[in-house]
Structure 1
Amino acid sequence: MADLYTRLMDKLYLFCIWISAISILFMSLIIPWEVFARYVWGHGVRWPEPVATMLMVLFTFLGAAASYRAGSHIAVAMVTDRMPRALQAATAKLVDLLMLVINVFILVWGFSLCMGTMHQTISALPWMPVGVTYLPLPTGALFTLLFVIERLCLGSQAERPVVKREEDLAVEGVL
Protein backbone atom coordinates (compact mmCIF):
# COMPACT_ATOMS: atom_id res chain seq x y z
CA MET A 1 0.00 0.00 0.00
CA ALA A 2 2.83 2.39 0.83
CA ASP A 3 4.43 1.76 -2.56
CA LEU A 4 1.14 2.54 -4.34
CA TYR A 5 0.68 5.76 -2.35
CA THR A 6 4.25 6.85 -3.09
CA ARG A 7 3.80 6.16 -6.82
CA LEU A 8 0.58 8.19 -6.81
CA MET A 9 2.38 11.01 -5.03
CA ASP A 10 5.14 10.85 -7.68
CA LYS A 11 2.47 11.43 -10.33
CA LEU A 12 0.90 14.23 -8.29
CA TYR A 13 4.32 15.81 -7.82
CA LEU A 14 4.98 15.76 -11.57
CA PHE A 15 1.50 17.16 -12.20
CA CYS A 16 2.24 20.07 -9.84
CA ILE A 17 5.59 20.72 -11.52
CA TRP A 18 4.14 20.65 -15.04
CA ILE A 19 1.13 22.84 -14.23
CA SER A 20 3.41 25.32 -12.46
CA ALA A 21 5.80 25.42 -15.42
CA ILE A 22 2.99 25.83 -17.96
CA SER A 23 1.49 28.60 -15.82
CA ILE A 24 4.79 30.48 -15.76
CA LEU A 25 5.19 30.00 -19.52
CA PHE A 26 1.74 31.38 -20.33
CA MET A 27 2.13 34.21 -17.84
CA SER A 28 5.42 35.11 -19.52
CA LEU A 29 3.63 35.25 -22.88
CA ILE A 30 0.54 37.12 -21.68
CA ILE A 31 2.31 40.01 -19.95
CA PRO A 32 4.34 41.08 -23.02
CA TRP A 33 1.14 40.82 -25.09
CA GLU A 34 -0.51 43.35 -22.77
CA VAL A 35 2.50 45.68 -23.03
CA PHE A 36 2.48 45.34 -26.83
CA ALA A 37 -1.24 46.07 -27.05
CA ARG A 38 -0.99 49.09 -24.78
CA TYR A 39 2.02 50.75 -26.40
CA VAL A 40 1.71 49.69 -30.05
CA TRP A 41 -2.07 49.75 -30.49
CA GLY A 42 -2.54 52.58 -28.01
CA HIS A 43 -5.07 50.77 -25.82
CA GLY A 44 -4.77 47.80 -23.54
CA VAL A 45 -6.95 44.76 -23.53
CA ARG A 46 -8.78 43.85 -20.35
CA TRP A 47 -8.08 40.13 -19.94
CA PRO A 48 -4.25 39.75 -19.67
CA GLU A 49 -3.78 41.16 -16.18
CA PRO A 50 -6.38 39.02 -14.37
CA VAL A 51 -5.36 35.91 -16.32
CA ALA A 52 -1.68 36.48 -15.52
CA THR A 53 -2.56 37.00 -11.86
CA MET A 54 -4.58 33.76 -11.78
CA LEU A 55 -1.69 31.89 -13.39
CA MET A 56 0.69 33.35 -10.80
CA VAL A 57 -1.58 32.16 -7.96
CA LEU A 58 -1.82 28.74 -9.60
CA PHE A 59 1.94 28.24 -9.91
CA THR A 60 2.46 29.61 -6.42
CA PHE A 61 0.22 27.11 -4.65
CA LEU A 62 0.97 24.06 -6.79
CA GLY A 63 4.67 24.93 -6.84
CA ALA A 64 4.62 25.26 -3.05
CA ALA A 65 3.13 21.76 -2.75
CA ALA A 66 5.83 20.31 -5.02
CA SER A 67 8.50 22.27 -3.18
CA TYR A 68 7.34 20.82 0.14
CA ARG A 69 7.64 17.27 -1.16
CA ALA A 70 11.08 17.96 -2.63
CA GLY A 71 12.26 19.50 0.63
CA SER A 72 13.25 22.66 -1.23
CA HIS A 73 10.87 25.01 0.53
CA ILE A 74 12.09 27.95 2.56
CA ALA A 75 13.22 26.77 5.97
CA VAL A 76 15.01 28.62 8.71
CA ALA A 77 17.39 26.05 10.15
CA MET A 78 19.70 28.28 12.17
CA VAL A 79 18.20 27.15 15.49
CA THR A 80 17.37 23.53 14.61
CA ASP A 81 20.85 22.86 13.21
CA ARG A 82 22.27 23.55 16.65
CA MET A 83 19.90 21.14 18.44
CA PRO A 84 20.78 17.57 19.39
CA ARG A 85 19.75 14.98 16.74
CA ALA A 86 16.80 13.68 18.79
CA LEU A 87 15.44 17.18 19.26
CA GLN A 88 15.92 17.91 15.54
CA ALA A 89 13.80 14.86 14.67
CA ALA A 90 11.10 15.88 17.15
CA THR A 91 11.09 19.42 15.79
CA ALA A 92 10.76 18.10 12.22
CA LYS A 93 7.74 16.00 13.28
CA LEU A 94 6.22 19.03 15.00
CA VAL A 95 6.67 21.07 11.81
CA ASP A 96 4.98 18.34 9.76
CA LEU A 97 2.08 18.18 12.23
CA LEU A 98 1.70 21.97 12.08
CA MET A 99 1.76 21.76 8.27
CA LEU A 100 -1.02 19.18 8.52
CA VAL A 101 -3.16 21.48 10.68
CA ILE A 102 -2.48 24.57 8.55
CA ASN A 103 -3.28 22.78 5.30
CA VAL A 104 -6.52 21.35 6.68
CA PHE A 105 -7.47 24.90 7.72
CA ILE A 106 -6.60 26.31 4.27
CA LEU A 107 -8.42 23.45 2.54
CA VAL A 108 -11.64 23.93 4.53
CA TRP A 109 -11.73 27.74 4.49
CA GLY A 110 -10.35 28.01 0.95
CA PHE A 111 -13.10 25.72 -0.31
CA SER A 112 -15.64 27.79 1.62
CA LEU A 113 -14.25 30.94 -0.01
CA CYS A 114 -14.53 29.37 -3.47
CA MET A 115 -18.11 28.29 -2.93
CA GLY A 116 -19.08 31.62 -1.38
CA THR A 117 -17.83 33.60 -4.39
CA MET A 118 -19.03 31.39 -7.23
CA HIS A 119 -22.00 33.70 -7.89
CA GLN A 120 -19.73 36.73 -8.47
CA THR A 121 -17.89 37.49 -11.70
CA ILE A 122 -14.66 39.23 -12.62
CA SER A 123 -15.28 42.47 -14.51
CA ALA A 124 -12.54 41.78 -17.08
CA LEU A 125 -13.73 38.16 -17.53
CA PRO A 126 -17.52 38.26 -17.03
CA TRP A 127 -17.89 34.58 -17.97
CA MET A 128 -15.63 33.43 -15.10
CA PRO A 129 -16.88 33.15 -11.51
CA VAL A 130 -14.64 34.69 -8.86
CA GLY A 131 -14.63 31.37 -7.00
CA VAL A 132 -12.65 29.79 -9.83
CA THR A 133 -9.84 32.27 -9.23
CA TYR A 134 -9.59 31.04 -5.63
CA LEU A 135 -9.50 27.31 -6.52
CA PRO A 136 -5.68 27.08 -6.43
CA LEU A 137 -5.85 27.82 -2.69
CA PRO A 138 -7.74 24.69 -1.55
CA THR A 139 -6.24 22.63 -4.38
CA GLY A 140 -2.69 23.51 -3.35
CA ALA A 141 -3.60 22.85 0.29
CA LEU A 142 -5.03 19.43 -0.61
CA PHE A 143 -1.93 18.48 -2.59
CA THR A 144 0.37 19.72 0.19
CA LEU A 145 -1.73 17.82 2.73
CA LEU A 146 -1.26 14.61 0.74
CA PHE A 147 2.50 15.23 0.67
CA VAL A 148 2.51 15.95 4.43
CA ILE A 149 0.70 12.66 5.10
CA GLU A 150 3.26 10.90 2.93
CA ARG A 151 6.13 12.47 4.87
CA LEU A 152 4.58 11.69 8.25
CA CYS A 153 3.90 8.05 7.35
CA LEU A 154 6.79 7.21 5.03
CA GLY A 155 9.47 9.83 5.69
CA SER A 156 10.97 12.40 3.37
CA GLN A 157 10.71 11.68 -0.33
CA ALA A 158 13.31 14.28 -1.34
CA GLU A 159 15.73 11.54 -2.44
CA ARG A 160 13.37 9.84 -4.88
CA PRO A 161 14.61 10.00 -8.49
CA VAL A 162 11.45 11.78 -9.64
CA VAL A 163 12.05 14.51 -7.07
CA LYS A 164 15.81 15.00 -7.34
CA ARG A 165 17.00 17.83 -9.55
CA GLU A 166 19.07 17.16 -12.65
CA GLU A 167 22.12 18.83 -11.06
CA ASP A 168 21.96 16.40 -8.14
CA LEU A 169 21.63 13.41 -10.45
CA ALA A 170 24.52 14.64 -12.62
CA VAL A 171 26.77 14.96 -9.57
CA GLU A 172 25.87 11.42 -8.53
CA GLY A 173 26.66 10.12 -12.01
CA VAL A 174 23.09 9.13 -12.85
CA LEU A 175 22.87 11.53 -15.80
Structure 2
Amino acid sequence: MKIFDLIESAFSAILFLAGIGVSLYSVFMRYVMGSSQSWATEIFTMLLVWAIFIGFSSALKEDKHIAIDIIYDRAGPTFQKVSQAVTLLIGIAFSVFIIWSGYDMVMTAYAQQIKTIDLGFPIWINYLIMPIAGILLLIRFIEKAYRFFIKKEDVTHGEDILWKQ
Protein backbone atom coordinates (compact mmCIF):
# COMPACT_ATOMS: atom_id res chain seq x y z
CA MET A 1 0.00 0.00 0.00
CA LYS A 2 2.96 2.34 0.49
CA ILE A 3 3.81 2.14 -3.22
CA PHE A 4 0.14 2.72 -4.03
CA ASP A 5 0.14 5.76 -1.72
CA LEU A 6 3.25 7.15 -3.38
CA ILE A 7 1.91 6.69 -6.91
CA GLU A 8 -1.45 8.17 -5.98
CA SER A 9 0.09 11.20 -4.30
CA ALA A 10 2.56 11.72 -7.14
CA PHE A 11 -0.15 11.64 -9.81
CA SER A 12 -2.35 14.02 -7.84
CA ALA A 13 0.51 16.47 -7.27
CA ILE A 14 1.75 16.32 -10.87
CA LEU A 15 -1.73 16.88 -12.29
CA PHE A 16 -2.37 19.73 -9.85
CA LEU A 17 0.93 21.45 -10.61
CA ALA A 18 0.45 20.99 -14.35
CA GLY A 19 -3.02 22.53 -14.05
CA ILE A 20 -1.65 25.50 -12.13
CA GLY A 21 1.10 25.85 -14.76
CA VAL A 22 -1.43 25.93 -17.59
CA SER A 23 -3.49 28.47 -15.65
CA LEU A 24 -0.49 30.75 -15.08
CA TYR A 25 0.47 30.45 -18.76
CA SER A 26 -3.07 31.41 -19.75
CA VAL A 27 -3.10 34.44 -17.44
CA PHE A 28 0.31 35.55 -18.70
CA MET A 29 -0.73 35.20 -22.35
CA ARG A 30 -4.03 37.01 -21.80
CA TYR A 31 -2.92 39.94 -19.66
CA VAL A 32 0.71 40.42 -20.62
CA MET A 33 0.83 39.29 -24.23
CA GLY A 34 -2.77 40.21 -25.09
CA SER A 35 -3.44 36.78 -26.64
CA SER A 36 -6.22 34.69 -25.13
CA GLN A 37 -5.63 30.92 -25.07
CA SER A 38 -9.11 29.37 -25.13
CA TRP A 39 -7.75 25.82 -25.05
CA ALA A 40 -6.07 26.46 -21.70
CA THR A 41 -9.37 26.46 -19.82
CA GLU A 42 -10.19 22.95 -21.06
CA ILE A 43 -6.77 21.61 -20.13
CA PHE A 44 -6.73 23.42 -16.76
CA THR A 45 -10.19 22.10 -15.86
CA MET A 46 -9.36 18.54 -16.84
CA LEU A 47 -6.05 18.50 -14.94
CA LEU A 48 -7.55 19.98 -11.79
CA VAL A 49 -10.59 17.69 -11.82
CA TRP A 50 -8.32 14.68 -12.20
CA ALA A 51 -6.03 15.91 -9.39
CA ILE A 52 -8.98 16.53 -7.07
CA PHE A 53 -10.69 13.21 -7.77
CA ILE A 54 -7.45 11.31 -7.17
CA GLY A 55 -7.02 13.41 -4.03
CA PHE A 56 -10.34 12.12 -2.65
CA SER A 57 -8.71 8.76 -2.09
CA SER A 58 -5.69 10.32 -0.38
CA ALA A 59 -8.00 12.35 1.83
CA LEU A 60 -9.90 9.21 2.80
CA LYS A 61 -6.65 7.44 3.64
CA GLU A 62 -5.60 10.29 5.93
CA ASP A 63 -9.11 10.89 7.37
CA LYS A 64 -9.21 14.42 5.96
CA HIS A 65 -12.82 14.31 4.77
CA ILE A 66 -15.39 16.46 6.51
CA ALA A 67 -16.74 14.70 9.57
CA ILE A 68 -19.16 15.60 12.32
CA ASP A 69 -17.59 14.19 15.47
CA ILE A 70 -19.74 15.85 18.11
CA ILE A 71 -22.14 12.90 18.44
CA TYR A 72 -19.52 10.25 17.67
CA ASP A 73 -17.09 11.50 20.32
CA ARG A 74 -19.78 11.63 23.02
CA ALA A 75 -21.30 8.26 22.16
CA GLY A 76 -20.32 4.99 23.75
CA PRO A 77 -18.04 2.38 22.20
CA THR A 78 -20.93 0.30 20.87
CA PHE A 79 -22.40 3.23 18.94
CA GLN A 80 -18.94 4.12 17.63
CA LYS A 81 -18.35 0.57 16.36
CA VAL A 82 -21.75 0.43 14.69
CA SER A 83 -21.27 3.91 13.25
CA GLN A 84 -17.90 2.96 11.76
CA ALA A 85 -19.27 -0.26 10.29
CA VAL A 86 -22.23 1.53 8.69
CA THR A 87 -19.95 4.28 7.36
CA LEU A 88 -17.64 1.72 5.78
CA LEU A 89 -20.50 -0.17 4.16
CA ILE A 90 -22.04 3.03 2.79
CA GLY A 91 -18.60 4.11 1.55
CA ILE A 92 -18.11 0.82 -0.28
CA ALA A 93 -21.59 1.08 -1.81
CA PHE A 94 -20.91 4.69 -2.84
CA SER A 95 -17.61 3.69 -4.43
CA VAL A 96 -19.33 0.96 -6.45
CA PHE A 97 -21.97 3.49 -7.52
CA ILE A 98 -19.25 5.92 -8.67
CA ILE A 99 -17.51 3.14 -10.60
CA TRP A 100 -20.75 2.03 -12.26
CA SER A 101 -22.09 5.49 -13.11
CA GLY A 102 -18.63 6.65 -14.22
CA TYR A 103 -18.30 3.63 -16.48
CA ASP A 104 -21.71 4.43 -17.96
CA MET A 105 -20.66 8.05 -18.58
CA VAL A 106 -17.43 6.96 -20.27
CA MET A 107 -19.18 4.42 -22.50
CA THR A 108 -21.94 6.87 -23.49
CA ALA A 109 -19.46 9.62 -24.36
CA TYR A 110 -17.30 7.12 -26.25
CA ALA A 111 -20.25 5.77 -28.24
CA GLN A 112 -21.45 9.29 -29.10
CA GLN A 113 -17.90 10.46 -29.94
CA ILE A 114 -18.41 13.67 -27.94
CA LYS A 115 -15.44 16.03 -28.09
CA THR A 116 -14.45 19.20 -26.25
CA ILE A 117 -15.23 22.52 -27.94
CA ASP A 118 -11.80 24.13 -28.28
CA LEU A 119 -9.43 21.18 -28.62
CA GLY A 120 -11.71 18.54 -30.05
CA PHE A 121 -10.40 16.21 -27.31
CA PRO A 122 -12.54 13.07 -26.70
CA ILE A 123 -14.65 13.84 -23.65
CA TRP A 124 -14.71 10.19 -22.59
CA ILE A 125 -11.08 10.60 -21.50
CA ASN A 126 -12.14 13.42 -19.16
CA TYR A 127 -14.93 11.23 -17.79
CA LEU A 128 -12.54 8.34 -17.20
CA ILE A 129 -11.61 9.87 -13.85
CA MET A 130 -15.00 8.89 -12.43
CA PRO A 131 -14.51 5.11 -12.50
CA ILE A 132 -10.81 5.53 -11.65
CA ALA A 133 -11.68 7.64 -8.59
CA GLY A 134 -14.36 5.12 -7.64
CA ILE A 135 -11.81 2.30 -7.79
CA LEU A 136 -9.33 4.30 -5.70
CA LEU A 137 -12.03 5.04 -3.11
CA LEU A 138 -13.12 1.40 -3.11
CA ILE A 139 -9.54 0.31 -2.43
CA ARG A 140 -9.34 2.75 0.49
CA PHE A 141 -12.70 1.71 1.94
CA ILE A 142 -11.77 -1.97 1.64
CA GLU A 143 -8.45 -1.21 3.34
CA LYS A 144 -10.30 0.56 6.16
CA ALA A 145 -12.87 -2.26 6.39
CA TYR A 146 -10.05 -4.80 6.65
CA ARG A 147 -8.43 -2.80 9.43
CA PHE A 148 -11.79 -2.41 11.21
CA PHE A 149 -13.27 -5.91 10.87
CA ILE A 150 -10.11 -8.05 10.77
CA LYS A 151 -7.47 -6.10 12.68
CA LYS A 152 -10.03 -4.54 15.04
CA GLU A 153 -8.79 -0.95 14.66
CA ASP A 154 -10.65 2.31 15.13
CA VAL A 155 -10.44 3.42 11.49
CA THR A 156 -11.62 6.93 12.31
CA HIS A 157 -8.66 7.69 14.53
CA GLY A 158 -6.20 4.99 13.42
CA GLU A 159 -6.03 3.33 16.83
CA ASP A 160 -7.22 0.06 18.28
CA ILE A 161 -8.61 1.55 21.51
CA LEU A 162 -12.30 0.77 20.98
CA TRP A 163 -11.83 -2.97 20.78
CA LYS A 164 -9.81 -3.12 23.99
CA GLN A 165 -12.76 -2.11 26.14
Provide the TM-score with structure 1 as the length reference.
Answer: 0.80
* 2:162 matched residue in structure 1: none
Deviation at 1:149, TM superposition (A): 0.9
Between 1:62-71 and 1:97-106, the stretch displaced more is 62-71
Amino acid at match of 2:29: A
Q: Within 2, Cα distance between the matches of 1:15 and 1:157?
A: 24
Q: How does 1:118-137 map to 2 (within 5 A)?
A: 118=110, 119-126=113-120, 128-137=121-130
Deviating runs (4+, > 6 A) in structure 1?
none
Amino acid at match of 2:103: F
Between 1:135-144 and 1:146-155, the stretch displaced more is 146-155
- For 1:113, which of 105, 109, 113 is the aligned residue? 105
Deviation at 1:11, TM superposition (A): 2.0
Q: How does 1:12-161 map to 2 (within 5 A)?
A: 12-118=4-110, 119-126=113-120, 128-155=121-148, 156=155
After superposition, the C-alpha distances for 1:95-145 in whole angstroms (9 at most, x for unaligned) are: 01000001100100111101111211101111x211111111110110110
SS at match of 2:38: coil
SS at match of 2:67: coil
Amino acid at match of 1:129: P
Provide the TM-score with structure 2 as the length reference.
Answer: 0.84
Q: Within 1, Cα distance between the matches of 2:63 and 2:78?
A: 20
Structure 2: which 5+ runs fail to align? 149-154, 159-165
SS at match of 2:70: coil
Deviation at 1:72, TM superposition (A): 2.1
Question: For the aligned residues, what is the CA RMSD?
Answer: 1.6
> How many aligned positions are there?
150
* 1:162 matched residue in structure 2: none
Q: Within 2, Cα distance between the matches of 1:75 and 1:136?
A: 24
Structure 1: which 5+ runs fail to align? 1-8, 160-175
Q: Within 2, Cα distance between the matches of 1:87 and 1:38?
A: 56
Ranked by relative contact order (alpha carbons within 8 Å, sequence separation 6 or more), the top structure is 1
Q: Within 1, Cα distance between the matches of 2:4 and 2:157?
A: 14
Amino acid at match of 1:144: L
Q: Within 2, Cα distance between the matches of 1:84 and 1:20?
A: 37
In structure 2, the CA distance between the partners of 1:133 and 1:122, relative to structure 1 (3 Å rule), is same
* 2:161 matched residue in structure 1: none
For the 8 Å contact 2:91–2:141, the answer to whether it is kept is: yes
